[in-house]
Structure 1
Amino acid sequence: MTSRRMTQPDEPRDEALRRLDQRADALEARTARATQEHGAKAASYGYRLIGVLIGGVFVGLGLGAAIDVIAKTAPWGMIAGVLLGFGVSIWMAVRSAQQMTAEAAREWGPVRDLPLDDEED
Protein backbone atom coordinates (compact mmCIF):
# COMPACT_ATOMS: atom_id res chain seq x y z
CA MET A 1 0.00 0.00 0.00
CA THR A 2 1.40 3.37 -0.99
CA SER A 3 0.71 6.53 0.91
CA ARG A 4 -0.20 9.62 -1.01
CA ARG A 5 1.75 12.72 -0.09
CA MET A 6 0.78 16.30 -0.85
CA THR A 7 4.08 17.19 -2.44
CA GLN A 8 6.49 15.13 -4.48
CA PRO A 9 9.95 14.65 -2.97
CA ASP A 10 11.66 16.60 -5.75
CA GLU A 11 9.06 19.40 -5.86
CA PRO A 12 10.34 22.73 -4.54
CA ARG A 13 8.70 24.25 -1.51
CA ASP A 14 7.60 27.42 -3.38
CA GLU A 15 5.75 25.33 -5.94
CA ALA A 16 3.94 23.45 -3.18
CA LEU A 17 2.92 26.73 -1.53
CA ARG A 18 1.68 28.10 -4.88
CA ARG A 19 -0.45 24.99 -5.45
CA LEU A 20 -1.81 25.22 -1.92
CA ASP A 21 -2.75 28.88 -2.47
CA GLN A 22 -4.52 27.96 -5.71
CA ARG A 23 -6.49 25.24 -3.97
CA ALA A 24 -7.41 27.61 -1.13
CA ASP A 25 -8.55 30.26 -3.63
CA ALA A 26 -10.63 27.68 -5.50
CA LEU A 27 -12.25 26.55 -2.25
CA GLU A 28 -13.00 30.14 -1.25
CA ALA A 29 -14.52 30.85 -4.68
CA ARG A 30 -16.80 27.82 -4.34
CA THR A 31 -17.95 28.56 -0.81
CA ALA A 32 -18.14 32.38 -0.83
CA ARG A 33 -21.63 33.80 -1.00
CA ALA A 34 -22.16 36.47 -3.59
CA THR A 35 -22.85 39.82 -1.96
CA GLN A 36 -25.67 41.76 -3.49
CA GLU A 37 -25.49 45.46 -4.15
CA HIS A 38 -28.82 47.01 -3.20
CA GLY A 39 -27.87 50.67 -3.59
CA ALA A 40 -29.14 51.13 -7.15
CA LYS A 41 -32.44 49.43 -6.39
CA ALA A 42 -32.93 51.49 -3.23
CA ALA A 43 -32.15 54.68 -5.15
CA SER A 44 -34.72 53.76 -7.79
CA TYR A 45 -37.31 53.31 -5.02
CA GLY A 46 -36.52 56.80 -3.74
CA TYR A 47 -36.74 58.35 -7.20
CA ARG A 48 -40.06 56.61 -7.79
CA LEU A 49 -41.48 58.04 -4.54
CA ILE A 50 -40.25 61.54 -5.39
CA GLY A 51 -41.84 61.23 -8.83
CA VAL A 52 -45.17 60.24 -7.29
CA LEU A 53 -45.08 63.15 -4.84
CA ILE A 54 -44.10 65.82 -7.34
CA GLY A 55 -46.30 64.41 -10.10
CA GLY A 56 -49.41 64.50 -7.92
CA VAL A 57 -48.89 68.15 -7.05
CA PHE A 58 -48.32 69.15 -10.70
CA VAL A 59 -51.35 67.20 -11.93
CA GLY A 60 -53.47 68.88 -9.26
CA LEU A 61 -52.05 72.26 -10.25
CA GLY A 62 -52.86 71.62 -13.91
CA LEU A 63 -56.39 70.45 -13.21
CA GLY A 64 -56.98 73.40 -10.88
CA ALA A 65 -55.73 75.84 -13.53
CA ALA A 66 -58.02 74.23 -16.10
CA ILE A 67 -60.98 74.60 -13.76
CA ASP A 68 -60.01 78.26 -13.18
CA VAL A 69 -60.02 78.94 -16.91
CA ILE A 70 -63.34 77.19 -17.50
CA ALA A 71 -65.20 78.40 -14.39
CA LYS A 72 -63.35 81.75 -14.06
CA THR A 73 -62.70 81.18 -10.35
CA ALA A 74 -59.00 82.14 -10.23
CA PRO A 75 -57.03 81.41 -7.99
CA TRP A 76 -59.34 79.09 -6.01
CA GLY A 77 -59.28 76.27 -8.54
CA MET A 78 -55.48 76.15 -8.50
CA ILE A 79 -55.36 76.28 -4.71
CA ALA A 80 -57.89 73.46 -4.39
CA GLY A 81 -56.15 71.49 -7.16
CA VAL A 82 -52.74 71.74 -5.51
CA LEU A 83 -54.15 70.69 -2.13
CA LEU A 84 -56.09 67.81 -3.68
CA GLY A 85 -53.05 66.76 -5.74
CA PHE A 86 -50.85 66.88 -2.65
CA GLY A 87 -53.27 64.71 -0.70
CA VAL A 88 -53.57 62.16 -3.50
CA SER A 89 -49.80 62.08 -3.99
CA ILE A 90 -49.24 61.39 -0.27
CA TRP A 91 -51.77 58.55 -0.41
CA MET A 92 -50.12 57.11 -3.53
CA ALA A 93 -46.63 57.44 -2.02
CA VAL A 94 -47.67 55.55 1.11
CA ARG A 95 -49.26 52.81 -0.98
CA SER A 96 -46.18 52.62 -3.22
CA ALA A 97 -43.87 52.49 -0.20
CA GLN A 98 -45.85 49.57 1.23
CA GLN A 99 -45.57 47.70 -2.08
CA MET A 100 -41.84 48.46 -2.32
CA THR A 101 -41.30 47.26 1.25
CA ALA A 102 -43.08 43.98 0.51
CA GLU A 103 -41.07 43.55 -2.71
CA ALA A 104 -37.79 44.26 -0.92
CA ALA A 105 -38.65 41.81 1.88
CA ARG A 106 -39.35 39.08 -0.69
CA GLU A 107 -36.14 39.80 -2.60
CA TRP A 108 -33.67 40.69 0.16
CA GLY A 109 -35.06 38.82 3.17
CA PRO A 110 -36.08 40.17 6.57
CA VAL A 111 -34.85 43.53 7.76
CA ARG A 112 -31.82 43.39 10.03
CA ASP A 113 -31.15 45.99 12.69
CA LEU A 114 -27.96 47.97 12.67
CA PRO A 115 -25.53 47.23 15.48
CA LEU A 116 -25.72 49.53 18.47
CA ASP A 117 -23.26 52.39 18.61
CA ASP A 118 -21.64 52.30 22.03
CA GLU A 119 -20.01 55.71 21.68
CA GLU A 120 -21.76 58.58 23.36
CA ASP A 121 -21.27 62.22 22.49
Structure 2
Amino acid sequence: MSQNTESREEAIARLAKSASDLEARTTREAQSDAAGQAVAGQAYKVVAQLLGGVFLGIGAGFVFDRFAGTAPWGVIGGVLLGFAVSLWMAWQTAKRLMAQAAAAGVEPRSIPFDDANDEER
Protein backbone atom coordinates (compact mmCIF):
# COMPACT_ATOMS: atom_id res chain seq x y z
CA MET A 1 0.00 0.00 0.00
CA SER A 2 1.29 3.42 -0.86
CA GLN A 3 1.41 6.15 1.71
CA ASN A 4 -0.70 9.22 0.93
CA THR A 5 1.74 12.12 0.66
CA GLU A 6 -0.93 14.81 0.83
CA SER A 7 -0.42 17.10 3.78
CA ARG A 8 -3.16 17.87 6.22
CA GLU A 9 -3.50 21.47 4.98
CA GLU A 10 -3.85 20.31 1.36
CA ALA A 11 -6.52 17.81 2.35
CA ILE A 12 -8.46 20.47 4.28
CA ALA A 13 -8.20 22.89 1.35
CA ARG A 14 -9.42 20.21 -1.07
CA LEU A 15 -12.38 19.34 1.17
CA ALA A 16 -13.24 23.04 1.62
CA LYS A 17 -13.23 23.51 -2.15
CA SER A 18 -15.46 20.46 -2.62
CA ALA A 19 -17.86 21.75 0.03
CA SER A 20 -18.06 25.21 -1.56
CA ASP A 21 -18.66 23.67 -5.01
CA LEU A 22 -21.47 21.54 -3.59
CA GLU A 23 -23.03 24.54 -1.85
CA ALA A 24 -22.88 26.63 -5.03
CA ARG A 25 -24.49 23.84 -7.07
CA THR A 26 -27.34 23.27 -4.59
CA THR A 27 -27.99 27.03 -4.30
CA ARG A 28 -28.15 27.35 -8.08
CA GLU A 29 -30.60 24.41 -8.29
CA ALA A 30 -32.81 25.91 -5.57
CA GLN A 31 -32.93 29.27 -7.38
CA SER A 32 -33.78 27.48 -10.63
CA ASP A 33 -36.62 25.59 -8.92
CA ALA A 34 -38.04 28.82 -7.46
CA ALA A 35 -37.92 30.53 -10.86
CA GLY A 36 -39.66 27.55 -12.48
CA GLN A 37 -42.41 27.63 -9.87
CA ALA A 38 -42.94 31.35 -10.44
CA VAL A 39 -43.28 30.81 -14.20
CA ALA A 40 -45.71 27.93 -13.67
CA GLY A 41 -47.75 30.13 -11.33
CA GLN A 42 -48.01 32.84 -13.97
CA ALA A 43 -49.05 30.26 -16.58
CA TYR A 44 -51.79 28.98 -14.29
CA LYS A 45 -52.95 32.56 -13.77
CA VAL A 46 -53.34 33.07 -17.54
CA VAL A 47 -55.26 29.79 -17.89
CA ALA A 48 -57.53 30.78 -14.97
CA GLN A 49 -58.21 34.12 -16.64
CA LEU A 50 -59.15 32.41 -19.90
CA LEU A 51 -61.49 29.92 -18.26
CA GLY A 52 -62.87 32.35 -15.70
CA GLY A 53 -63.93 34.86 -18.34
CA VAL A 54 -65.87 32.24 -20.27
CA PHE A 55 -67.58 30.84 -17.16
CA LEU A 56 -68.43 34.31 -15.90
CA GLY A 57 -69.92 35.09 -19.32
CA ILE A 58 -72.02 31.93 -19.19
CA GLY A 59 -73.29 32.85 -15.74
CA ALA A 60 -74.08 36.44 -16.67
CA GLY A 61 -75.82 35.30 -19.86
CA PHE A 62 -77.91 32.79 -17.94
CA VAL A 63 -78.99 35.42 -15.43
CA PHE A 64 -79.83 37.82 -18.27
CA ASP A 65 -81.88 35.10 -20.01
CA ARG A 66 -83.82 34.37 -16.81
CA PHE A 67 -84.87 37.99 -16.32
CA ALA A 68 -85.25 39.07 -19.95
CA GLY A 69 -86.65 35.79 -21.33
CA THR A 70 -84.29 35.80 -24.31
CA ALA A 71 -82.99 32.21 -24.01
CA PRO A 72 -80.51 31.11 -25.43
CA TRP A 73 -79.21 34.42 -26.81
CA GLY A 74 -78.05 35.77 -23.46
CA VAL A 75 -75.88 32.72 -22.81
CA ILE A 76 -74.46 32.83 -26.34
CA GLY A 77 -73.70 36.54 -26.05
CA GLY A 78 -72.27 36.03 -22.56
CA VAL A 79 -69.93 33.30 -23.75
CA LEU A 80 -68.70 35.43 -26.63
CA LEU A 81 -68.28 38.51 -24.46
CA GLY A 82 -66.61 36.50 -21.69
CA PHE A 83 -64.22 34.93 -24.17
CA ALA A 84 -63.31 38.33 -25.62
CA VAL A 85 -62.71 39.80 -22.16
CA SER A 86 -60.64 36.80 -21.07
CA LEU A 87 -58.46 37.07 -24.19
CA TRP A 88 -57.91 40.77 -23.50
CA MET A 89 -56.98 40.04 -19.86
CA ALA A 90 -54.56 37.28 -20.89
CA TRP A 91 -52.99 39.63 -23.46
CA GLN A 92 -52.51 42.32 -20.79
CA THR A 93 -50.97 39.80 -18.40
CA ALA A 94 -48.59 38.55 -21.11
CA LYS A 95 -47.53 42.11 -21.94
CA ARG A 96 -46.90 42.85 -18.25
CA LEU A 97 -44.81 39.69 -17.83
CA MET A 98 -42.77 40.46 -20.96
CA ALA A 99 -42.12 43.99 -19.66
CA GLN A 100 -40.97 42.59 -16.31
CA ALA A 101 -38.67 40.11 -18.07
CA ALA A 102 -37.22 42.87 -20.27
CA ALA A 103 -36.62 45.06 -17.20
CA ALA A 104 -34.81 42.15 -15.53
CA GLY A 105 -32.63 41.70 -18.61
CA VAL A 106 -34.00 38.30 -19.60
CA GLU A 107 -33.77 37.62 -23.33
CA PRO A 108 -36.72 35.71 -24.83
CA ARG A 109 -35.73 32.43 -26.45
CA SER A 110 -37.34 30.72 -29.38
CA ILE A 111 -38.09 27.05 -28.92
CA PRO A 112 -37.20 25.08 -32.05
CA PHE A 113 -39.71 22.73 -33.58
CA ASP A 114 -39.07 19.03 -33.26
CA ASP A 115 -39.62 17.80 -36.79
CA ALA A 116 -38.02 14.43 -36.08
CA ASN A 117 -41.29 13.08 -34.68
CA ASP A 118 -43.21 14.22 -37.76
CA GLU A 119 -40.92 12.29 -40.10
CA GLU A 120 -41.43 9.00 -38.23
CA ARG A 121 -45.20 8.98 -38.69
Q: TM-score, normalised by structure 2?
A: 0.70
Note if 1:101 corresponds to 2:116. no
**Structure 1: tracts of 5 or more residues without a match:** 1-11
Q: Percent identity?
A: 37
3-state SS, counterpart of residue 48 of structure 2: helix
Letter of the 2:12 partner, please give it.
R
Give 2:43's aligned residue: 46
**Structure 2: tracts of 5 or more residues without a match:** none
Cα–Cα, structure 1 residues 114 and 77, in superposed 2: closer, same or farther, change >3 Å? closer
Give 1:79's aligned residue: 76
Aligned mates of 1:60, 1:114 — CA distance in 2: 34
Give 2:17's aligned residue: 24
Note if 1:15 corresponds to 2:8. yes
**Paired residues, number:** 108
Aligned mates of 1:58, 1:71 — CA distance in 2: 20
Structure having the higher helix fraction is 2
Q: RMSD between aligned alpha carbons? A: 3.2
Cα–Cα, structure 1 residues 81 and 49, in superposed 2: closer, same or farther, change >3 Å? same
Letter of the 1:65 partner, please give it.
F
Runs of 4+ with deviation above 6 angstroms: 29-32
Aligned mates of 1:114, 1:62 — CA distance in 2: 38
Aligned mates of 2:81, 2:111 — CA distance in 1: 38
